[in-house]
Amino acid sequence: MLQQPRVPPTGQRQAIEIAIKWREVLAQKQALLRIMAHHTGHSIDKLDKARHHRCTALHRVWRCA
């Protein structure tokens, strides 16, 4: 699981810091997807769509509860 970027308690952060952190998180996600694709034999697109589908299903359950 990818780590969520840490946000200061005030919730304020410079825009450039957010952009840098977003690039770091995106690079981690891509690296993880490449590793998973290599070991499972599935395409990166298929793995990313499967992850998105699971997250969407979980969000629907949490909103209904």
pLDDT digit string, tens, across residues 9-35: 555 667 788 888 889 998 998 999 899
Q: How many domains does the chain have?
A: 1
Give the pLDDT score at 3. Answer: 66
- Residue 29 lies in domain: 15-64
Up-side HSE of residue 43: CA atoms within 13 Å toward CB? 3
Report yes or no on 2 lying in a domain: no
- Check pLDDT > 60 for residue 63: no
**CB 27, CB 7: distance < 8 Å:** no
Report yes or no on 23 lying in a domain: yes
Report yes or no on 9 lying in a domain: no
- Residue 65 pLDDT level (bands cut at 50, 70, 90): very low
**What's phi and psi for 63, nearest 5 deg?**
-70, -30
Report yes or no on 48 lying in a domain: yes
Residues 6+ apart with CB under 8 A from 16: none
pTM summary value: 0.57
Distances (CA, A) of 46 to 6, 29, 38, 42: 29, 14, 12, 7
Would you give the DSSP letter of residue 11?
Answer: -
